[in-house]
């Protein structure tokens, strides 16, 4: 469990959600959907490492292309009954989560929400489950088994890619304690057949500075795990290296999109939208901001089979509406690194920036620290590892950035 103070040094803010993806083997094709068509990342820059940022889709995760079926269930407990009503809780997450994925995927992922609009009261008290940040798999297996026991007669569990279990917001935790988590487990036995392979649990609220409009974003983050994405924030007590540039790093506060690497990984970018830079010499790239459809989205400067520097443009459009800084963002991806061990690191091009950003997403020190991470027009950067030089020469009238990359 990690906690952070904000700039006031008073409020304790837990950090986003914990990834606890447990892959327990079993048949790779159990429950596989026939309509899942994924253009797998390919080409010289498709790194081959097998860590959390591997470009090979993991078995048994939810598809990220086409119709993705989510079953959304609501739970409360004998000692913590819901008081606000299920529709209120539902509307915190939908349709915003669906819209977020539609925008982020450029319409390639269609998030089908199937809510059961009632609270199922669990057979045991919230206290008895001992839900805490970092709770073991057994705790969540018990929750799922008990939910099945109370809901199976009323709900057909079969045929879903994602199972959302949303607890009444008053269950057990202060607002700023993060309990939300996603598990991948062997499917559970239900009267309808196997179910609950990929399950996202959401608790309480994640409000920042009284802003309640973006409570849904924790579900976007958790569902990102069901698609196979890792946590980009560090589990250990070490500096964050991504800030607000990906919802798998920061899911609090104002809206943000995903890094282009994640969009490539999920099949939301065509391989033709990836500029692979492997040879010495200069190349020119016109990069369309990742939140906008079309065009080249990412230049990948491959350093080794498992490591690359990535170059992408960010602006304030689409899901990046909540950003403050914009420009050309440079990151390093290492496909040998595990979730929560900083598999991606963003380069901060303007560490001394004094940009004043009053958006609620930027109330954390680490997010503010990376607000102006992108290179602006006229700025350049020489990468210490590859020796490659990235120069941002102009912003075109269509919003794309003109970038020159020179490899030695």
The contact pattern for Zn ion, residues 182-221, with x = CB under 5 A and - = no contact, is ----------------------------------------
Nearer to Ca ion, 100 or 120 (CB): 120
Residue placing its CB nearer to Ca ion in the complex, 3 or 192: 192
Decide if residue 282 touches Ca ion (CB under 5 A): no
Is 246 a binder of Zn ion (CB under 5 A)? no
Asked if 261 contacts 242 with a C-beta cutoff of 8 angstroms, the reply is no
As a whole number of angstroms, the distance between CA 311 and CA 277 comes to 11
Mark 23-52 with x for binding to Zn ion (rule: CB under 5 A) and - for no binding: ------------------------------
How far apart, in whole angstroms, are the C-alpha atoms of residue 324 and residue 315? 9
**Cβ atoms of residues 379 and 332 within 8 Å:** no
231 binds, among Ca ion, Zn ion, none (CB under 5 to 8 A by kind): Zn ion
In the sheet with 18-19, reading across from the earlier edge strand, the strands are 18-19, 181-184, 198-202, 162-167, 66-76, 109-121
- In the range 106-145, which residues lie near Zn ion by CB under 5 A? none
Residues in region 301-320 near Zn ion by CB under 5 A: none
Binding flag, residue 136, Ca ion (CB under 5 A): no
- In 144-271, beta strands by DSSP E: 162-167, 181-184, 198-202
Write the burial class of residue 29 (CB in 10 Å: 0-12 exposed, 13-18 middle, 19+ buried). exposed
Interaction of residue 19 with Zn ion, rule CB under 5 A: yes
Q: Which does 334 bind (CB under 5 to 8 A by kind): Ca ion, Zn ion, none?
A: none
Helix (H, G, I), strand (E, B) or coil at 184: strand
Do β-strands 181-184 and 198-202 pair in parallel, antiparallel, or remain unpaired? antiparallel
Q: How far apart are CA 118 and CA 94, in angstroms?
A: 15
The distance of closest approach from Cβ of residue 404 to Ca ion in the complex, given in angstroms and rounded to an integer, is: 59
Q: How far apart are CA 280 and CA 407, in angstroms?
A: 5
Q: What is the DSSP track for 256-277?
A: ----HHHHHHTT-S-GGGEEEE
Select 22 or 191, whichever has its Cβ closest to Ca ion.
191
Give the Cα separation of 196 and 199 in Å (integer): 6
In this complex, which beta carbon is closest to Ca ion, that of residue 192 or of residue 270? 192
Tokens 């369309």, located at residue: 288
The listed partner (Ca ion, Zn ion, none) that binds 17, CB under 5 to 8 Å by sort, is: Zn ion
| Contacted entry of Ca ion, Zn ion, none for residue 270, CB cut-off 5 to 8 Å set by kind | none
Specify the residue, 17 or 403, whose C-beta has the smaller distance to Zn ion.
Answer: 17
Of Zn ion, Ca ion, none, which one sits near residue 166, judging by CB under 5 to 8 A according to partner kind? Answer: none
**Residue with smaller CB distance to Zn ion, 265 or 292:** 265
Cβ at position 21, least distance to Zn ion in Å: 9
Choose the contact partner of 137 out of Ca ion, Zn ion, none; CB within 5 to 8 A by kind.
none
Tokens 């199937």 sit at which residue? Answer: 114
From 19-27, 117-125, 152-160, 260-268, give the range in contact with Zn ion by CB under 5 A.
19-27
188-227 binders of Ca ion (CB under 5 A): 191-192
Q: Are 320 and 295 in contact (CB under 8 A)?
A: no
Among Ca ion, Zn ion, none, the one that 165 touches (CB under a kind-dependent 5 to 8 A) is none
> For residues 33 and 3, is the Cβ–Cβ distance under 8 A?
no
Q: What residues line the site for Ca ion (CB under 5 A)?
A: 152, 191-192
Q: What residues line the site for Zn ion (CB under 5 A)?
A: 17, 19, 231
């Amino acid at each position: 469990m990690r906690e952070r103070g904000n700039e006031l040094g008073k409020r304790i803010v837990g950090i986003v959600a914990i990834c606890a993806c447990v892959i327990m083997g079993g048949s790779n094709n159990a429950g596989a959907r026939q309509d899942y068509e994924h253009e797998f990342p390919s080409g010289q820059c498709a790194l081959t490492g097998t860590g959390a940022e591997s470009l090979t889709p993991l078995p048994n995760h939810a598809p990220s292309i086409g119709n993705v079926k989510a079953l959304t269930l609501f739970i409360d407990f004998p000692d913590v009954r819901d008081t606000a009503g299920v529709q209120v809780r539902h509307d915190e997450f939908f349709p915003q989560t669906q819209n977020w994925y539609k925008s982020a995927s450029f319409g390639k992922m269609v998030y089908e929400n199937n809510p059961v609009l009632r609270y199922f009261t669990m057979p045991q008290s919230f206290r008895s489950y001992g839900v805490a940040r970092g709770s073991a798999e057994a705790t969540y297996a018990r929750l799922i088994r008990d939910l099945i026991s109370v809901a199976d007669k009323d709900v057909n569990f079969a045929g879903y890619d994602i199972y959302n279990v949303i607890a009444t917001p008053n269950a057990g935790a202060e607002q700023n304690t993060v309990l939300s988590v996603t598990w991948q487990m062997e499917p559970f036995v239900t009267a309808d057949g196997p179910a609950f392979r990929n399950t996202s649990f959401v608790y309480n609220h994640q409000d920042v500075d009284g802003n309640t409009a973006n409570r849904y974003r924790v579900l976007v983050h958790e569902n990102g795990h069901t698609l196979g994405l890792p946590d980009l924030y560090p589990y250990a007590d070490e500096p964050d290296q991504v800030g607000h540039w990906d919802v798998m790093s920061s899911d609090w506060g104002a809206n943000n999109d995903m890094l282009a690497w994640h969009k490539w990984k999920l099949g939301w970018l065509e391989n033709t939208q990836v500029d692979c830079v492997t040879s010495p010499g200069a190349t020119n790239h016109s990069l369309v901001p990742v939140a906008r459809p079309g065009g080249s989205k990412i230049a990948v400067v491959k350093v080794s089979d498992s490591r690359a520097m990535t170059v992408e443009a960010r602006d304030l459009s689409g899901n990046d509406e909540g950003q403050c800084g914009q420009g050309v963002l440079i990151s390093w991806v290492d496909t040998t690194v595990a979730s929560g061990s900083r598999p991606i690191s963003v380069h901060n091009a303007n560490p001394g920036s004094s940009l004043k950003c009053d958006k609620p997403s930027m109330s954390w020190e680490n997010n503010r620290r990376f607000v102006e991470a992108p290179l602006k027009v006229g700025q350049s950067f020489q990468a210490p590892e590859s020796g490659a030089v990235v120069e941002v020469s102009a912003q075109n009238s269509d919003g794309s950035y003109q970038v020159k990359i020179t490899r030695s």
